[in-house]
């Protein structure tokens, strides 16, 4: 299922959300400029091209996190491909504005970063246990998963216009956010279990998605605690 938009207008311009999208896009364009443009050189053990070296330095490598603690933050703004960037930014564009609207700009920044750290924590834990400590992790998807967890809790009945494939056909349907996001989360769990034996080979960081979602799902109550007392 592919979300097209949510039927849930926000009351003000989501400047933080748009800024995150802009920052990630600009950084990706820089990453893209580092990619080899000519023939791929023969494999040389230990050699990294400029793009790979950049990812290794600013991406989150679990075995090297104490050497480069800043990577806990910087990895959230890196991406590995155009599709990686577009997919993440599309979800953030659809769901992030309403969460920012509810929390306010300053709280939304803190919330977003904490969700990204929660995502990184679970992915590092699983990588440490099952192999994959040397695989760099990049992407905003962990933090964005936290935004989805918050959105489901804040707006469970908001409608999400969704492109739904049915065998060889596709159709559009408005699905309640609680159903759409629950199904999305189920997919992350299933894929995480299925791909666990191959975690050392890289690929999608499913446990970052799970960790980020759980962080956002529970943190949103803390960030909105004052409103409950009112």
At 45 the pLDDT is: 57
Rounded to the nearest angstrom, the gap between the alpha carbon of residue 194 and the centroid of all alpha carbons in its chain is 20
Residue 39 is predicted with a pLDDT of 65
How does pLDDT run across 96-139, given as a tens digit for each residue? 999 999 999 999 999 999 999 999 999 999 998 998 899 999 99
Q: What is the pLDDT of residue 228?
A: 46
φ, ψ for residue 2, nearest 5 deg: -120, 120
Confidence (pLDDT) at 66: 94
Parallel, antiparallel or unpaired: strands 169-176 and 159-166: antiparallel
Q: What is the rounded average pLDDT of the residues 37-57?
A: 74
Q: Which residues pair with 162 in a beta bridge?
A: 3, 173
Q: Quick one: average pLDDT of 38-57?
A: 74
pLDDT-based confidence at 189, cuts 50/70/90?
A: very high
Per-residue pLDDT of 50-89, as tens digits, reads: 999 999 999 999 999 999 999 999 999 999 999 999 999 9
Query: Distances in Å between the alpha carbon of 172 and those of 53, 89, 181?
Result: 42, 21, 16
Phi, psi at residue 38, to the nearest 5°? -100, -160
| Cα separation values, 154 from 54, 83, 157, 183, Å | 37, 28, 9, 17
How many CA atoms does the CB half-sphere of 188 hold within 13 Å?
23
Alpha carbons 7 and 164: distance in angstroms, whole number? 17
In this prediction the pTM is 0.91
Is a pLDDT exceeding 50 seen at residue 223? yes
Residue 38: the pLDDT is 66
* CATH H-level superfamily of 2-229: Rhomboid-like (1.20.1540.10)
pLDDT score of 146: 98
Residue whose tokens read 């050189």:
41
């Amino acid at each position: 299922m592919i979300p097209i938009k949510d039927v849930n207008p926000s009351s003000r311009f989501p400047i933080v959300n748009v800024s995150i999208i802009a920052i990630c896009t600009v950084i990706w364009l820089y990453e893209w400029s580092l990619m080899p443009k000519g023939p791929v050189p023969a494999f040389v053990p230990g050699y990294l091209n400029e793009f790979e070296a950049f990812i290794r330095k600013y991406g989150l490598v679990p075995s090297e996190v104490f050497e480069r603690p800043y990577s806990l933050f910087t990895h959230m703004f890196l991406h590995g491909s155009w599709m990686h960037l577009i997919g993440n930014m599309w979800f953030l564009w659809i769901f992030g504005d309403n969460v920012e609207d509810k929390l306010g700009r300053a709280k939304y920044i803190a919330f977003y970063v904490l969700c990204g750290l929660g995502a990184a924590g679970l992915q590092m834990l699983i990588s440490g246990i099952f192999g994959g400590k040397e695989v760099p992790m990049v992407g905003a998807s962990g933090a964005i998963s936290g935004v989805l967890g918050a959105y489901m809790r804040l707006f469970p009945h908001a409608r999400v216009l969704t492109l739904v494939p049915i065998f060889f056909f596709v159709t559009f349907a408005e699905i309640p956010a609680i159903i759409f996001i629950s199904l999305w989360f189920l997919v992350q769990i299933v894929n995480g279990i299925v791909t666990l034996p191959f975690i050392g080979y890289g690929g999608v960081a499913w446990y970052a998605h799970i960790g980020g979602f759980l962080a956002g799902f529970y943190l949103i109550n803390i960030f909105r605690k004052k409103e409950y007392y009112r």
